[in-house]
Amino acid sequence: MVSHSELRKLFCSADAVCFDVDSTVIREEGIDELAKFCGVEDAVSEMTRRAMGGAVPFKAALTERLALIQPSREQVQRLLAEHPPHLTPGIRELVSRLQERNVQVFLISGGFRSIVEHVASKLNIPASNVFANRLKFYFNGEYAGFDESQPTAESGGKGKVIKFLKEKFHFKKIVMIGDGATDMEACPPADVFIGFGGNVIRQQVKDNAEWYITDFVELLRELEE
Residues 6+ apart with CB under 8 A from 165: 16, 18, 106, 171, 174
Helix (H, G, I), strand (E, B) or coil at 195: strand
Active site residue 20: yes
Active site residue 179: no
Of 15, 20, 32, 191, the catalytic one is 20
Q: What CA–CA distance (Å, rounded) separates 121 from 127? A: 8
β-bridge partners, 123 = none
Instruction: Specify the pairing of strand 143-146 against strand 211-213.
Output: unpaired
Of 22, 32, 179, 191, the catalytic one is 22
Q: What CA–CA distance (Å, rounded) separates 116 from 118? A: 5
Q: What CA–CA distance (Å, rounded) separates 157 from 76? A: 24
Q: What per-residue string of b and e applies to 187-216 under the rule 16 or more CB within 10 Å gives b?
A: bebbbbbbbbbbbbebeebeeebbbbbeeb
> Are the CB atoms for 194 and 209 separated by under 8 Å?
yes
The residues carrying an active-site annotation are 20, 22
